[in-house]
Structure 1
Amino acid sequence: MNFSSKPQEELSELLEQGASIEIAVGARPIAELIMLAVHAREGRGQLVLKATSNLDHKSFVSLSTYGKGHLLFKD
């Protein structure tokens, strides 16, 4: 199953229920990624973001702040 192509609402619901998922950053806006990180933290799930080489430092810091230990970056 390719989670990267799923809508944000479906991913948020899974993360809120404690799921651990891996998605490619792709063209998703940073605001959407932040919301997914928040849902991972709140649901005690794990969000793995792959193909993150195009993110700038500020985006990494923002995501890390909102994900607080429930986020993993993969290049």
Structure 2
Amino acid sequence: IMIVNDTRKSYLLILDGPKDEKLFAAVAQAARPYLAGREQKMDLNITTSVSPLGQQGMRGSEPFYRKGIGRVIEDDDE
């Protein structure tokens, strides 16, 4: 979750790859049903890992999905 000015919240999705508007649109479309069903609707911001926002957002984080592997399962997910 990204918080701007201590008030505005949105999801931040960082993709590790080149900027691809078609991919961004497809991801946003796939996420739409999950964003709309929440009590408090939050926006989704998508960026790449090479952008300044992407670099800052990845700091101290681990990916939840890896290409070729799928969802990365943590030990405490059970």
- Range into which the TM-score falls when normalised by the shorter chain: under 0.3
What TM-score comes out, normalization by structure 2 length?
A: 0.26
Higher share in helix:
1
Rg (Cα) greater in structure = 2
Q: Which protein has the bigger strand share?
A: 2
Give the TM-score of the pair, scaled to structure 1.
0.27
